């Protein structure tokens, strides 16, 4: 159960989603499922495990000192709205890279890649990204529409945690096929 704007909110998660989320569970029930801080720690541990040369004690001390003294950005315990949207954008860019002439080359930094592209190519890349990115809210809308179609408005309202059905109607699109079907039966 979650407290949101002074009201309790329970989010029901089905068995399929639970099986996908299980790997993110931690022993502490109050932990956030997706933690940027834990993700950074996992990336660093994986990088250290892949290392071929031994780490010298001076490197360990230097790295610890630099991380504590001057973090570029300290990873937070949970994602903010903006950080979540940025993570989704980066995942979309990684999953749907632009075609080869526009794509970033292996080992090329983002800055060098962007300088290599002409103004027209940059516009093409932005157009490509716009067509191949999605926002987190699109998942909520499509889920609400599917639940409304299969189980009705009240079920969508309950699963989205809305108090009023008019809010749910903003998320869940009407079933135009059902309207046409009913109209055809009635005559």
| pLDDT, tens only, 98-155 | 998 899 999 999 999 999 999 999 999 999 999 999 888 888 888 888 888 889 888 8
Q: Is residue 167 part of a domain?
A: yes
Domain assignment of residue 59, given as a range: 22-79
CB proximity list for 36: less than 8 A, separation 6 or greater: 75, 76, 77, 78, 79, 83
**Which of 63, 79, 95 is the last residue in one of the domains?**
79
Q: Residue 50: what pLDDT?
A: 92
User: What are the Cα distances from residue 98, in Å, to 3, 103, 123, 124, 181?
Assistant: 41, 5, 12, 9, 41
Q: Residue 186: what pLDDT?
A: 83
Q: Is residue 107 part of a domain?
A: no
SS3 (DSSP) at 7: strand
Domain count of the fold of the chain: 2
Closest CA relative to residue 14, chosen from 166, 146, 112, 134: 146
Q: Residue 19: what pLDDT?
A: 93
Q: Is the pLDDT of residue 94 over 70?
A: yes
Q: Is the pLDDT of residue 2 over 60?
A: no
pTM, 2 dp = 0.66
CB 79 within 8 A of CB 87: yes
Closest CA relative to residue 5, chosen from 163, 173, 179, 174: 163
User: What are the Cα distances from residue 82, in Å, to 14, 79, 99?
Assistant: 27, 8, 27
Q: Is residue 16 part of a domain?
A: no
Q: Is residue 151 part of a domain?
A: yes
Cα separation, 4 vs 27, whole angstroms: 24
Cα separation, 162 vs 165, whole angstroms: 7
pLDDT digits (tens, 9 = 90+) for 35-81: 888 888 899 899 989 988 888 888 888 877 777 666 777 888 888 98
**Which of 53, 79, 105 is the last residue in one of the domains?**
79
Q: Is residue 127 part of a domain?
A: no
Structure-block tokens of residue 145: 């529409």
List, in sequence order, every beta strand (DSSP E) within 7-159. 7-9
Mean pLDDT of the region 9-26: 86
Q: Is residue 65 part of a domain?
A: yes
């Amino acid at each position: 159960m979650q407290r949101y704007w002074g009201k309790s909110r329970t989010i029901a998660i089905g068995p399929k989603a639970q099986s996908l989320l299980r790997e993110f569970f931690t022993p502490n029930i109050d932990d956030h499922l997706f933690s940027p801080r834990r993700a950074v720690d996992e990336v660093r541990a994986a990088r250290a495990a892949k290392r071929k040369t031994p780490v010298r004690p001076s490197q360990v001390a230097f790295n610890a000192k630099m991380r504590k003294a001057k973090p570029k950005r300290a990873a937070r315990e949970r994602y903010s709205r903006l950080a979540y949207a940025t993570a989704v954008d980066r995942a979309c860019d990684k999953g749907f890279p632009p075609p080869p002439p526009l794509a970033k080359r292996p080992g090329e930094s983002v800055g060098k890649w962007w300088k290599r592209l002409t103004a027209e190519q940059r516009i093409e890349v932005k157009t490509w990204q716009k067509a191949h990115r999605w926002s987190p809210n699109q998942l909520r809308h499509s889920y609400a529409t599917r639940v409304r179609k299969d189980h009705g408005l009240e079920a969508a309202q309950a699963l989205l945690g809305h108090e009023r059905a008019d809010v749910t109607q903003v998320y869940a699109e009407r079933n135009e096929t059902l309207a046409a079907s009913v109209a055809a039966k009635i005559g």
